[in-house]
Amino acid sequence: MQFADTLLTWYADNKRALPWRGEHDPYKIWVSEIILQQTRVQQGWDYYLRFVDAFPTVAALAAASEEDVLRLWQGLGYYTRARNLHAAALQIVTRHHGAFPDNYEEIRALKGVGDYTAAAIASIAFGLPYPAVDGNVLRVTARIFGIADDIAAPQTRNAITKRCAQLIDTRHPGHFNQAMMELGAITCLPQKPKCDECPFRHECHAALHNLTDVLPVKNNRIAKRDRFFHFFLHIYNNSVILEKRTGQDIWRNLYQFPLQETPSDTTLTDGTCIAKLREVLTHQIIHANFYAIPEKSTPAVRENQLLVSLERLGDYPMPKVMVQFLKQHSI
Ligand code: SF4
């Protein structure tokens, strides 16, 4: 229990004030956890406030259209998270009569909820003793206990989860989990951890053996695929063509300018290239070229396309690189 006591004392004195801190509504905890999965706290902060303002309850989220949810998510990227939130809200309404499930198994069964998120919600909202192990917790635990196995390997994650299950304060599991994550987020940083300020500096294996540059060991360098997108702005009378993506990829149901993809880096000769942008995702790097094509008459639109005035472009949810382009050009 001494580990948990030390951690919780440190947490009480050092935790950051965050909009979801102290929240007990499982719905809001869930929303904050999903937003934070691939987003930094500073960026996620406003999105969280806007999201729970627009959809204050599971029922409100379930009643919204997917397009409304995607529009609110615009700019955060990784839109699958938003689609899953919406789908899971519908699951809660149909399977659980609108009441957020209060046990780990049923929370884990919600669309888009993995081991970590289920444990975070179960512990913070319902006081259930499940350790929530994210990247921060893997790093902190590997350093304190000198675990030199690859933290990207499932067996290491399982071993660390078991270790945390032994350490967790069963009276305050939500605080314990948040404290472990907070220690990783503000003190046990990936580079240059602030060991002088850490409550475990006298017992931490990595600090005592000068191994903070070595631990944790992580071997999963994901090879990223380069993709070359060419977007065409067919401009006529202050309007442009937008098309809805219908394929089953991460941008499904988002809108974009008509697109051509090429296998290698090239600049096409159609129109004038007015911008070159780059977006780095987990598995791919998008290289996007934008071409202006002034039209002399109303351009023909295909089934999944529509002509939209520049002022109304903001009404349509779009991939991040499109949003970036519009921002840069003050559209
Ligand atoms: S002593 Fe340093 S390396 Fe160890 S847990 Fe604390 S901040 Fe991390």
Helix (H, G, I), strand (E, B) or coil at 231: strand
**Residues whose CB falls within 8 Å of the CB of residue 191, separated by 6 or more in sequence, listed in order:** none
Q: Which atom of ligand 1 is nearest to the CA of 199?
A: 6
Do 11 and 101 lie in one domain? The reply is: yes
**Residue 115, token pair as written in the block:** 């081991």
CATH code of the domain containing 247: 3.90.79.10
Q: Which atom of ligand 1 is nearest to the CA of 187?
A: 7
Q: Is residue 295 part of a domain?
A: yes
Q: Is residue 213 part of a domain?
A: no
Quickly list H helices, the chain. 2-14, 26-36, 41-54, 58-63, 66-73, 80-95, 104-108, 115-126, 135-145, 154-167, 173-186, 205-208, 320-328
Do 15 and 157 lie in one domain? The reply is: yes
Q: Is residue 173 part of a domain?
A: yes
Backbone angles phi, psi at 236, to 5 degrees: -140, 120
CATH code of the domain containing 6: 1.10.340.30
pLDDT of residue 220: 67
Do 159 and 293 lie in one domain? The reply is: no
Provide the sign of the torsion angle of the four alpha carbons 120, 122, 128, 131, taken in this order.
negative
The last residue of a domain, from among 150, 179, 208: 208
Indicate the pairing of strand 259-262 with strand 305-309.
Answer: unpaired
The last residue of a domain, from among 175, 208, 241: 208
Strand segments (E) across 188-330? 225-236, 239-244, 255-256, 259-262, 272-280, 284-294, 305-309
Q: Is the CB of 140 under 6 A from ligand 1?
A: yes
Q: Is residue 215 part of a domain?
A: no
pLDDT of residue 219: 84
Do 266 and 201 lie in one domain? The reply is: no
Q: Is residue 220 part of a domain?
A: no
What b/e string do you get for 208-222 counting C-beta neighbours within 10 Å, with b at 16 or more? eeebbeebbebeeee
Give me the active site residues, please.
Answer: 33
Q: Is residue 248 part of a domain?
A: yes
pLDDT of residue 222: 67
CB count within 10 Å of CB 200 equals: 20
Do 168 and 313 lie in one domain? The reply is: no
Q: Which atom of ligand 1 is nearest to the CA of 139?
A: 8
Answer whether 32's CB lies under 8 Å from 208's CB.
no
Answer whether 179's CB lies under 8 Å from 8's CB.
yes
**Residues whose CB falls within 8 Å of the CB of residue 322, separated by 6 or more in sequence, listed in order:** 231, 254, 255, 256, 257
Ligand 1 center to 139 CA (angstroms):
9
**Which of 7, 212, 213, 214 maximizes ligand 1 atoms within 8 Å of its Cβ, making it the mutation to test the pocket?**
212
The last residue of a domain, from among 208, 238, 259: 208
Do 48 and 175 lie in one domain? The reply is: yes
Residue nearest to atom 4 of ligand 1 (CA): 204
Report d(CA 10, CA 314) in Å as an integer. Answer: 44
Do 26 and 175 lie in one domain? The reply is: yes
Do 141 and 230 lie in one domain? The reply is: no
Do 272 and 312 lie in one domain? The reply is: yes
pLDDT of residue 268: 87
Question: pLDDT truncated to tens, each residue of the chain (331 aa)?
Answer: 699 999 999 999 999 999 999 999 999 999 999 999 888 999 999 999 999 999 999 999 999 999 999 999 988 888 999 999 999 999 999 999 999 999 999 999 999 999 999 999 999 999 999 999 999 999 999 999 999 999 999 999 999 999 999 999 999 999 999 999 999 999 999 999 999 999 999 999 999 999 999 999 998 666 789 999 999 999 999 999 999 998 778 888 899 999 999 999 988 888 899 999 999 888 899 999 999 999 999 999 999 999 999 999 999 999 999 999 999 988 7
pLDDT of residue 269: 85
Q: Is residue 214 part of a domain?
A: no
Do 112 and 238 lie in one domain? The reply is: no
Residue among 99, 129, 133 at smallest CA distance from 26: 99
Q: Is residue 216 part of a domain?
A: no
Q: How many domains does the chain have?
A: 2
Q: Is the peptide bond before 299 cis (omega within 30 degrees of 0)?
A: no
Q: Is the CB of 141 under 6 A from ligand 1?
A: no
Residue among 124, 120, 100, 97 at smallest CA distance from 110: 100
Answer whether 275's CB lies under 8 Å from 329's CB.
yes
Do 203 and 238 lie in one domain? The reply is: no
Full domain range(s) for residue 241:
225-328
Do 46 and 187 lie in one domain? The reply is: yes
Q: At what angle do helices 66-73 and 80-95 cross, to 10 degrees?
A: 140
Ligand 1 center to 188 CA (angstroms):
5
pLDDT of residue 221: 65
